């Protein structure tokens, strides 16, 4: 059990005071964003700690996830944890309407979603008074001091799961060692993405015996959903043409992708590039880049069809990436040619694809490492290297099949690690097959 006798530091008290003063202004900004996303008033009030659903009977395990990527990994974990704890109920909190919509579509059994309370006294206490979680699991770097301290003070065991902290964040906390130790001591367990984060947490003041290096939980997310009707329709439009995918591309990356595609078209004149920009609102900009490169573009959101003249099909709609991955076994994953951190390579690998990445995948370093080592993924630096990688796999089916099998093997290895995480959570947070509600 953590020793939670440490007294609140002056900095923590100052934080509580300042957030109380700023609370009404923060609430106004948050409410405006939720209104702009057409979130109903009753659900907006969840940010003020007013629950829109009743608390279920029995043991309730609460997960807090930052946004869409974390939410996907949490959904997979809840499914496995639900099998391990058949009587448990689950609560997910996440702050964005996009993540809320995703959860509604992929809600695990015995699970409900709420928006998290603002980190001020009233909302936090109302949230905890209503839900009374038996355990709280914060995902990645969602460290909300008052919510953490208040929850722990009620006897709720806490874990920081899939922990990842930026160098800037670590340096900031190291300048405030007493407050860092005070807050981190509220946690009973830290499961980190890698050894570096584990060591950083210990340096910041986390008790070393509660820190366990793990793996990137996002690598264990369920496969992305596939719309079979759309898949059949697009396959019919493509016919027997060769295809490759550039997915989750960011500004400054499409130029490299399109330059590679131009070279590939010289050898395969009927080659189709399926281009998936990370931010669909950039569709006009990306389409203009393709046109400037002399390539004909069809746009999904315009309901354009793929014809024999289409060289680039821009898939600029949300929630269909799994369908696109099912179309093609060669995927370049963006966010990696710039210093963005990359995206989850296991999503295309789960769909049976071999993966190509730039060098800037530092947010998924521990996920890419075994993929690259096994040959399931290739790292490139430039348009010419991207051309060569795609060309190799398009021209040699045996080499492509070997790469795809290696990628799939890495996925299977990571999936088995999910059971170990479930057991660790159950042991360290005292979770059992049945439980009663925690008391104040």
Indicate if 70 belongs to the active site.
yes
pLDDT digits (tens, 9 = 90+) for 192-232: 877 888 888 898 889 999 998 876 676 667 788 899 999 99
Q: How far is CA 376 from CA 252, 354, 381, 395, 401, in A?
A: 25, 6, 17, 17, 10
Contact assessment for residue 221 and residue 344, using Cβ atoms and an 8 Å cutoff: yes
Instruction: Provide the angle, in degrees to the nearest 10, between the axes of the packed helices 177-184 and 145-153.
Output: 50
- Determine the 3-state secondary structure of 431 from DSSP: coil
Nearest to 211 by CA among 190, 227, 241: 190
List, in sequence order, every residue forming a beta bridge with 312; answer none if it has no partner.
Answer: 273, 297
Nearest to 357 by CA among 329, 378, 387, 383: 378
pLDDT digits (tens, 9 = 90+) for 111-164: 999 999 999 999 999 999 999 999 999 987 667 899 999 999 999 999 998 777
* pLDDT tops 80 at residue 165: no
Helix ranges (DSSP H) in 37-186: 41-44, 68-84, 97-105, 121-131, 145-153, 167-174, 177-184
Strands in 286-373 per DSSP E: 297-299, 312-314, 330-333, 354-357
* Residue reference for tokens 């499961």: 191
- Tally DSSP H helices, then E strands, for the chain: 17, 14
pLDDT digits (tens, 9 = 90+) for 267-319: 999 999 999 999 999 999 999 999 999 999 999 999 999 999 999 999 999 88
Residue 303 CB coordination number (10 Å) = 7
Among the options 70, 89, 140, 320, which is catalytic? 70
């Amino acid at each position: 059990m953590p020793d939670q006798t440490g007294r609140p530091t002056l900095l923590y008290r100052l934080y509580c005071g300042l957030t109380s003063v700023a609370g009404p202004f923060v609430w106004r900004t948050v409410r405006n964003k939720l209104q702009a996303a057409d979130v109903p008033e009753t659900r907006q009030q969840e940010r003020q700690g007013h629950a829109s659903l009743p608390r279920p009977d029995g043991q309730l395990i609460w997960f807090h996830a930052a946004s869409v990527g974390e939410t996907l990994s949490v959904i997979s974990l809840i499914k496995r944890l639900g099998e391990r704890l058949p009587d448990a109920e689950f609560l997910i909190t996440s702050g964005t309407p996009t993540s809320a919509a995703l959860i509604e579509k992929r809600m695990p059994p015995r699970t409900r979603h709420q928006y998290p309370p603002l980190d001020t006294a009233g909302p936090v206490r109302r949230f905890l008074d209503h839900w009374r979680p038996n355990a709280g699991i914060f995902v990645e770097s969602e460290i909300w001091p008052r919510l953490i301290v208040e929850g722990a003070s009620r006897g709720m065991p806490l874990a920081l799961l899939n922990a990842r902290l930026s160098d800037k964040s670590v340096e900031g906390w190291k300048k405030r060692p007493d407050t860092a130790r005070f807050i981190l001591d509220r946690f009973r367990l830290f499961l980190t993405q890698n050894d570096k984060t584990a060591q950083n947490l210990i340096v910041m003041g986390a008790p070393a015996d509660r820190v366990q290096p793990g793996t990137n939980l996002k690598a264990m997310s369920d496969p992305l959903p596939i719309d079979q009707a759309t898949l059949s329709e697009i396959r019919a439009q493509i016919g027997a043409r060769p295809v490759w995918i550039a997915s989750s591309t960011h500004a400054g990356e499409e130029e490299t992708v399109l330059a590679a595609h131009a070279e590939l078209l010289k050898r395969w004149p009927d080659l189709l590039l399926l281009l998936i920009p990370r931010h669909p609102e950039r569709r006009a900009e990306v389409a203009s880049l393709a046109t400037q490169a002399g390539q004909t573009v069809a746009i999904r959101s315009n309901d354009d069809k793929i014809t024999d003249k289409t060289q680039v099909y821009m898939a600029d709609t949300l929630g269909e990436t799994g369908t696109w991955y099912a179309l093609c076994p060669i995927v370049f994953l963006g966010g990696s040619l710039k210093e963005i951190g990359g995206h989850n390579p296991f999503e295309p690998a789960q769909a049976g694809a071999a993966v190509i990445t730039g060098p800037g995948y530092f947010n998924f370093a521990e996920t890419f490492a075994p993929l690259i080592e096994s040959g399931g993924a290739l790292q490139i630096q430039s348009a010419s290297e991207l051309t060569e990688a795609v060309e190799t796999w398009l021209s040699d089916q045996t080499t492509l099949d070997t790469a795809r099998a290696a990628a799939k093997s890495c996925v299977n290895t990571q999936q088995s690690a999910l059971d170990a995480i479930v057991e660790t959570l159950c042991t360290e947070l005292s979770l059992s097959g049945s439980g009663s509600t925690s008391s104040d």
